[in-house]
Structure 1
Amino acid sequence: MEILVAIMIEDRSGVGNLEQIFSVPGIDMVLEGAVDLSKSYGVPGQFTHPEIVQAVQNIATTCRTKRVPFARFHAIRNNLTIGKSKMFRPFC
């Protein structure tokens, strides 16, 4: 049996505490919670808002540094385009 430990970063405090979150051993994958993330920044549904783009970029950079896959929900409009432009690797 194999177990995958995936966490979701879905608010401003999660983005602000990435180092503490990643200090927990055993994280296999990180997901963004774009809808809740945008709400926590006060720009609900504005996934291309500069603060949201920067927050997602911070998550992705930390994932790359920690060598943990970062999954984005490409069904959300513009995520795939933004992801390709920032060199994110789609997970699925």
Structure 2
Amino acid sequence: MNKFDPDSTEIMLAIIEAEARHPDPGDGPVTRFSIWAKPWVKVGDVYGRAAAYTHSYGLVAWWDETKTHHLEWFPANQIKRVARSDWHGY
């Protein structure tokens, strides 16, 4: 991370911690999206941004209505990309 990286240290540490909680460590290497390339996604009723992925899972970051930040792994087949105009997150 350099001084031009807009991800806060707190969020970066949360991403690193979430990577350690991957549900299937043998699923392959974790690839992170750069901050400028994080796709807008929807998983069920959750709208967020994809932070990283492996072969079969995606790490999705989102803020809830209480402004709490969440990071969770979801199976890739549950994650749907959405256009920014169709995204309804916080």
Above 0.5 in TM-score? no
Q: TM-score range by the shorter chain?
A: under 0.3
TM-score normalised per structure 1: 0.24
TM-score normalised per structure 2: 0.24
Q: Which has the higher helix share?
A: 1
Q: Which has the higher strand share?
A: 2
